[in-house]
Amino acid sequence: MNGKLMRVSPNVFLAAACFMFAATVRAADIKVMSDSPLAPALAKVVAAYRQQTHNHVSLVFDPSPAVKKRIDGGEAADVVIVQPDFADELTKSGKVSAGDRPIIARVGVGLGNRKDSPTYDISTVEKFKSTLLGADLLVFNSVKSGEAFEKVLDRLGIADALKPKTVRTTPNGIFEPVLKGKGNDMVAGTIPLIATTPGIKLLGPLPGELQSSLSYTAVLMANAPQPNAAQDFIEFLVSSRAKEIFAANGAE
C-alpha cells in the first residue's frame, strides 16, 4: 500500500461486532424432555430445526410418567413433550406454563417380532387375532399404550387364552424378552419404537377399528432458562415442515 497504513472505518468494526453479537444471541441451547415413543421422529425434527435456526437442542427421553417424576424432583428443562394428562398435572403443580399446549404428534400402536422370525399378515382383525393366538410369548408395557393393547385383547375375547404367554414390563423393557427369545415371540408397542429397534421388525399397525393413538403435547416450563428460544421451538413443532417429518417417521 505504498508504505501507508490502510484506514478502516469504525463503522466496519461496529458492523462486525453487531454481527457477532447477533450470532451469539441467536444460538440458544434448549433442553427438551420428551416421551420415549417420539424419539425416532423428534430427533429428525430437531435436526431440521437446528439447520434452520442454528440453535442447539438437547434431547432427553423417558416415558411420560418418568418425565413427570423427574420434573417433580426438580430437574429443569425448557420444553416438555408428554401426553396431555401428564401436562395437565404439571400445569396444576406450577411446573409448566398454563398457556397454549399444542398437540404436536400422535403415535399409533403396532405389533412386531424378531427379524429372523416369520412375517405375518395382520392387516385384518381375523389375521391379527390368529397371529396373536399363535404366539409363544407376547410382551407389552404397563403404561398407556399397554393399557390400550390390553383392552384390544379383551375386545377380541383372547385375553384369558394369552394370559399364560403374556409379559407386562416397563416401556423401555418390552423388546429384551423378544430379542432374547427363541420361539414365536411378539411385542406390542408404539410403531416408531418397534420400527427402529435393532433386531425387531414391524409387522404392522393394529388393524382398523382396533387402532388407537397416543397424543403428545409440547409445553413451556414455568422457569425455562431459554423461554424465547423454547417458544420458538414449540412453534416449529407445529409447522408444516415438522408435520411432514413427523409423518414420514411414524408419527401423525
pLDDT band at 212 (very low <50, low <70, confident <90, very high): confident
Evaluate if residue 23 carries a pLDDT over 50: no
pLDDT of residue 165: 96
Does an H or E element contain 139, and which?
A: strand 137-141
Using CA atoms, how far residue 239 sits from 2, 36, 220, 221, 242, in Å, is 57, 21, 17, 20, 5
For the domain made up of 27-105+215-248, the CATH class stated in words is: alpha beta
pTM for this entry: 0.80
Parse the chain into domains and list their residue ranges.
Answer: 27-105+215-248, 107-213
Using DSSP bridges, classify how beta strands 103-114 and 56-61 pair: parallel, antiparallel or unpaired: unpaired
pLDDT of residue 7: 54
pLDDT of residue 101: 86
Evaluated on CA atoms 76, 79, 82, 87, the torsion sign reads positive
**Given this chain, do its domains 27-105+215-248 and 107-213 carry the same CATH topology?**
yes
Evaluate if residue 126 carries a pLDDT over 60: yes
The pair phi, psi for residue 48, each rounded to 5°, is -70, -40
pLDDT of residue 21: 43
Averaged pLDDT score across all residues of the chain: 89
Instruction: Read off the DSSP letter of residue 116.
Output: T
Instruction: Read off the DSSP letter of residue 196.
Output: H
pLDDT digits over 68-112, tens only?
A: 999 999 999 999 999 999 999 999 999 998 778 899 999 999 999
Evaluate if residue 216 carries a pLDDT over 60: yes
The pair phi, psi for residue 119, each rounded to 5°, is -95, 125
pLDDT band at 26 (very low <50, low <70, confident <90, very high): low
pLDDT band at 171 (very low <50, low <70, confident <90, very high): confident
Instruction: Read off the DSSP letter of residue 34.
Output: E
pLDDT of residue 172: 84
**Homologous superfamily (CATH) for 107-213:** Periplasmic binding protein-like II (3.40.190.10)
pLDDT band at 230 (very low <50, low <70, confident <90, very high): very high
pLDDT of residue 162: 97
Amino acid at 109: V
